[in-house]
Amino acid sequence: MFSGTTTPKLDDKGRLVIPSKFRELSDGALYITKGQDNCLSVYTASEFARLAEQLQQARVTTKSARDFVRNFMASAELQVPDRQGRIGVPTHLRQYARLERDLVVIGNNNKVEIWSAELWEANLAEQDELFANRDEEVIPGIF
């Protein structure tokens, strides 16, 4: 399980250092792909394989399912951190997530998310208020 927040920088070659607390939980290889809300999702190889298997069960007769699986899988890139723990973020993914130099990397349960610092701050400002004032159950039996 991934949790916590860090604020690394994207270098001039489009690489970022995956924080050690996240690297320690990985199984070596990482898959980086489009996430929702214009962030990037990073999965361990084993978690990505589990998700890919689940996606194979999607109803191919449903256009929205086909579109989602196609977009998710077509954008996925295998990355192996180098000795310094850096991974490259491909140009098409940097553009999708509007990544510049300042980033926010968060642990989000089964994945790590990479956000543009600007988009994360805007999202957080909106979501903090909603979170604090939530008066209905969002996740049945939990919150």
* DSSP codes joined into one string, 100-119: -SBEEEEEEBTEEEEEEHHH
* CA-to-CA dists, residue 118 to 26, 91, 97, 108, 138, angstroms: 27, 18, 11, 19, 26
126 pLDDT tier (thresholds 50, 70, 90):
confident
**How many CB atoms sit inside 10 A of residue 42's CB?**
26
Helix 45-55, helix 63-74: angle, nearest 10: 160
H or E segment to which residue 120 belongs: helix 117-132
pLDDT digits (tens, 9 = 90+) for 69-110: 999 999 999 999 998 989 999 999 999 999 999 999 999 999
CA distance 48 to 73: 10
Cβ-in-10-Å burial (0-12, 13-18, 19+) of 99 comes to buried
Asked whether the predicted pLDDT for residue 8 surpasses 80, the reply is: yes
Instruction: Evaluate whether 10 touches 27 at the Cβ level (below 8 Å).
Output: no
CA distance 99 to 119: 9
pTM: 0.88
135 pLDDT tier (thresholds 50, 70, 90):
low
Q: So what's the pLDDT on residue 140?
A: 67
- All domains of the chain in start order, with CATH: 5-132 (3.40.1550.20)
Asked whether the predicted pLDDT for residue 143 surpasses 60, the reply is: no
